[in-house]
Structure 1
Amino acid sequence: MEGLKLSEAELMIYIHPSKSRNVFQAICRELSSLLFQYNETFDGVLLAYDATVKSKQAKILAGLHPYFGVRVNTRLLLFDPKPKSFVEGKIVKISPESIHVIVLGFSAAVITDVDIREEFKYRVRDGEGSFVSRSHKRHALKLGTMLRLQVQSFDEEVMHIAGSLLPENTGCVKWLEKKSEEALHTDRDHKRRKFA
């Protein structure tokens, strides 16, 4: 999935002297306070981190509360979906006007009817709505389906994605993977016949 990136950074974490007994725990607490929030310094939403203390020496800051700074090497997993990138999420609500998706369990995405390919038609069966492809009847988008969508915009403050299903390589992830496997097998068979 696009939008995820692994980054390495050397950070200076400032810790209150009262936390000096267990510095590593204080570092983890500081980094944990940044989780699932957009951070301009990291240019993304921090999803996970791995930290190692670079040096046992700390730099003491003068002031009313003499904090001390500890250099930390970190590996950060960041989420920052750029426009035109592709992300995947689970469909949680469908209506004739929109499809609502949860990406990575925390970010909401909405695809409005103007951003859904004309190939998909809204249907209600057994009281549940779904979008079904007119050209491929097995390509259906319903509640619980894992969906690949194209990012149009990402609002960092509320972690909201405006998405699109207009590109051909968007839709139900299982159906898209099956289609690509079939195309790969067809291509292999064609090459075998060509060289035979």
Structure 2
Amino acid sequence: MFTGIVECTTKIYKLNRKKNNLFITLKNPFLNKIKINQSICHNGICLTVIDIDKKTYSVIASEETLQCTNLNFLKIKDKVNLERALIIYERLNGHIVQGHVDTTAKIIKIENKNGSWLFFFKSKEKLYHSIVKKGSITINGISLTIITYTKYVFSVSIIPYTYKNTNLHLMKIGDIVNIEFDIFGKYIKNFIKNYKI
């Protein structure tokens, strides 16, 4: 479980495909703070640590994860947003994030608002029953607030701190990001869909 408050970014060190899986090795910014079998959120994707050394650590992504995320677009030296799992007694500064990506979206417009940025995304999935105005959404592991939305397009506002301290400042039009819809909204959507009078 995560909060969508990115702790830091790190660079991809190595990518290695074995059968249908992708082994990802990253520069280790956590030193002695992580361990084998620990979950870390990478660009919004919960992945398990399988190997650690002083300079790097490795995780593995399965075929299913590769199909519904942007991991296939990763390249060596790309920057990835990182967040370690939530400690229950700490403040929930973002919103509840599972690290289970629902879909991907393409950046279609970036507006500089003289101190902040407005990002517009086109989702692969219809949005009407998955988001609400001023509701929470996770983009590449970042907890953000919906500003506007239509059937497939939505926008979020990015403050300077978030822009500088995540990989959003490296993003450009056409880039693909990972999207996780709010878990409470998904439960309500599923309940209504299956509710019978």
- Per the normalisation by structure 2, the TM-score is 0.26
Greater helix percent: which structure? 1
- Per the normalisation by structure 1, the TM-score is 0.26
Report 1 or 2 for greater relative contact order, CA contacts < 8 Å, sequence distance ≥ 6.
2
Higher-Rg structure is 1
